[in-house]
Chains A and B, each alone.
Chain A
Amino acid sequence: MLSQPFAIATSPDAVTHPPANFEYLTDRTFRALAMAAAALLIILVAYILWKIGGQAMPAIQKYHLNFLISSQYNVQELKFGILPGIWGTLYSSLLALLIGGFFGLSVAIFLTQGFLPPRLAFVFRLIIDMLAAIPSVVFGLWGIFVVIPAIRPAANLLNEYLGFIPFFGTSLSGPGLLPAAIVLAIMVLPTVAAISQDALNSVPYRTKEAAFGMGATLWEVILKVMVPTAAGGIFSAMVLGFGRALGETMALAMLIGNANQVSLSLFAPAETLAALLASHFPEAGPAEVEVLMYAALVLLAITLVVNVAGIGLLTLTQRQISGKA
Chain B
Amino acid sequence: MKRFVRAPLLCTALLAFAAFVHDPGARAQDMRLIGSGASFPAPIYAAWFKTFSKGANGVIVDYQSKGSGAGIQDFINHTVDFAASDAAMTDEEIAKVKDGVVLIPITAGTIVLAYNLPDVAQLKLPHDVYPDIFLGKITKWNDPRITAANPGAKLPDMPITVVRRSDASGTSFVFTKHLSAVSPAFAKQVGFGTTVEWPASDKIVGAPKNDGVTATIKQTPGAIGYIEYGYAKLTKTPNALLQNKAGKYVEADEKTGAAALAAAKLGPDLRGWVDDPDGADAYPIATFTWLLFYKQQDVKKADVLRKLVDFCASKGQAMADSLGYIPLPAPVVAKVKSAANEIK
> Which residues of A line the B interface, CB within 8 A?
72-76, 141, 144-145, 148-149, 170-171, 173-176, 253-254, 257-261, 263, 265, 267-269, 275, 278-280, 282-285
The 8 closest A-B pairs by CB, nearest first: A258-B206, A283-B168, A174-B220, A258-B166, A283-B69, A173-B161, A283-B67, A257-B205
Q: Which residues of B from 175 to 227 have beta carbons under 8 Å from A?
A: 191, 193-198, 200-208, 212, 215-216, 219-220, 222-223
In the assembled complex, the Cα of A319 lies from the Cα of B208 at a distance in Å of: 47
B70, B191, B223: the one within 8 Å of A283 (CB): B70
Q: Does B202 lie within 8 Å of A173, measured CB to CB?
A: yes
Q: Does B208 lie within 8 Å of A254, measured CB to CB?
A: yes
16 more contacts with CB within 8 A, not counting A76-B196, A174-B220, A259-B205, are: A72-B197, A74-B196, A75-B168, A145-B215, A175-B205, A175-B216, A257-B206, A259-B201, A261-B202, A268-B202, A269-B202, A269-B205, A278-B167, A280-B167, A280-B195, A283-B70
| B180 CB → nearest A CB, Å | 11
Contacts of B279 in A (CB 8 A): none
Contacts of A74 in B (CB 8 A): 196-197
Q: Which residues of B from 67 to 93 have beta carbons under 8 Å from A?
A: 67-70, 73
**B73 (CB) vs chain A CBs: closest residue:** A285
Q: Does B202 lie within 8 Å of A284, measured CB to CB?
A: no
A173, A265, A279, A280: the one within 8 Å of B203 (CB): A173
**B172 (CB) vs chain A CBs: closest residue:** A283
| CB of B159 closer than 8 Å to a CB of A | yes
Contacts of B200 in A (CB 8 A): 259-261
Q: Does B202 lie within 8 Å of A279, measured CB to CB?
A: no
Q: Does A175 lie within 8 Å of B207, measured CB to CB?
A: yes
**A74 (CB) vs chain B CBs: closest residue:** B197
In this complex, which of A72, A149, A258 has the most chain B Cβ atoms within 10 angstroms of its Cβ? A258
**B220 (CB) vs chain A CBs: closest residue:** A174
| CB of B163 closer than 8 Å to a CB of A | yes
Q: Does A254 lie within 8 Å of B207, measured CB to CB?
A: yes
- Please list 27 pairs of residues, one from A and one from B, whose beta carbons are closer than 8 Å in the complex, sorted by A's number: A75-B193, A76-B197, A148-B220, A173-B220, A174-B163, A257-B207, A258-B205, A258-B207, A258-B208, A259-B200, A259-B201, A260-B197, A260-B200, A265-B202, A267-B202, A269-B205, A269-B206, A278-B167, A279-B166, A279-B208, A280-B195, A283-B67, A283-B68, A283-B70, A283-B167, A284-B69, A285-B69
Contacts of B168 in A (CB 8 A): 75, 279-280, 282-284
| A20 CB → nearest B CB, Å | 14
Contacts of A268 in B (CB 8 A): 202
Known: A275-B166, A279-B208. A173 touches B222 (CB 8 A): yes
| B42 CB → nearest A CB, Å | 13
| B27 CB → nearest A CB, Å | 33
In the assembled complex, the Cα of A289 lies from the Cα of B53 at a distance in Å of: 35
| A93 CB → nearest B CB, Å | 19
| CB of B169 closer than 8 Å to a CB of A | yes
B66, B191, B212: the one within 8 Å of A76 (CB): B191
In the assembled complex, the Cα of A140 lies from the Cα of B219 at a distance in Å of: 13
In the assembled complex, the Cα of A235 lies from the Cα of B55 at a distance in Å of: 63
In the assembled complex, the Cα of A169 lies from the Cα of B340 at a distance in Å of: 58
Contacts of A263 in B (CB 8 A): 202
